Amino acid sequence: MPTGPIADDYRADIENLCDVLKRSGADQLEPAQRNPTIAMWLGPNIKTAAGHDFLVKIGPMQGPDKAKALEDEATRVGIAACPLAAEWRAPGAVNPP
């Protein structure tokens, strides 16, 4: 996680991650079918090394811990709402990569 001033391109990465369900079209799929679509969309749309590092950091986390880490990072970079974090808190949620 970067420290100091927040670069616009890193903020854009976190916005893409937070809104990945809608931006990738995965919100139109059954929950069990979303992960491949999300993973394929994130690859070319997370553009900074810091964004990729953040994905690696939260990858092994699950449920509320993963949601909190993403929400905390979104807040830190100035994003008010993170739909993906809310999705990860839902009962029975499947956490994408």
Indicate the pTM of the whole model. 0.87
> How many independent structural domains does the chain possess?
1
In a domain, 81, yes or no: yes
Span 16-70, pLDDT tens digits: 999 999 999 999 998 888 889 999 999 999 999 999 999 999 999 988 899 999 9
In a domain, 77, yes or no: yes
In a domain, 54, yes or no: yes
% helix, strand, coil for the chain, step of 5:
65, 0, 35
Q: Under a CB-based contact definition with an 8 Å cutoff, are residues 21 and 83 in contact?
A: yes
In a domain, 65, yes or no: yes
Which pLDDT does position 2 carry in this prediction? 47
Which pLDDT does position 14 carry in this prediction? 97
Q: 32 lies in which domain range?
A: 8-89
In a domain, 23, yes or no: yes
In a domain, 94, yes or no: no
**Tokens 């079918």 — which residue?**
33
Which pLDDT does position 1 carry in this prediction? 46
In a domain, 1, yes or no: no
Which pLDDT does position 51 carry in this prediction? 97
